[in-house]
Structure 1
Amino acid sequence: MNPTSKKNILVLAALGAAALAAASYGAYWWHTGRFMQTTDDAYVGGDISAISSKVSGYIQQLAV
């Protein structure tokens, strides 16, 4: 084998590894990453409401 064909094999191997890494990241993003939400300046605003029952006791059953 001459040096240029070894160089070509190394270049093709590097390109193949880069393509595999890109495909793996793309599959991860498509399956999981696109549903993750991030923010740098998160703020939660809302009103505070007091909740109380008219009768004291424990809830035994809740029909949904």
Structure 2
Amino acid sequence: MIRVNGEQAPWREGMTIRNLLEERNFTFPMIAVWVNGTPHKRDEFSSVKIPDGAEVQAIHMISGG
């Protein structure tokens, strides 16, 4: 089990940031992701594996003015 934005979510062996975003329908192109407090760049989403018990924050970036 992991926590995503404060809510429990299922975890599976080998889960990457990209897998998680797709499963949760986080498709907004401007998104920032932290796993256990460590920020990750968009080009790392397919390679960074999420460990069991991780705390994940996924924040949609919105511009305005």
| TM-score scaled by length of structure 1 | 0.17
The structure richer in helix per residue is 1
Which gives a bigger RCO, structure 1 or 2 (Cα 8 Å, sep 6+)? Answer: 2
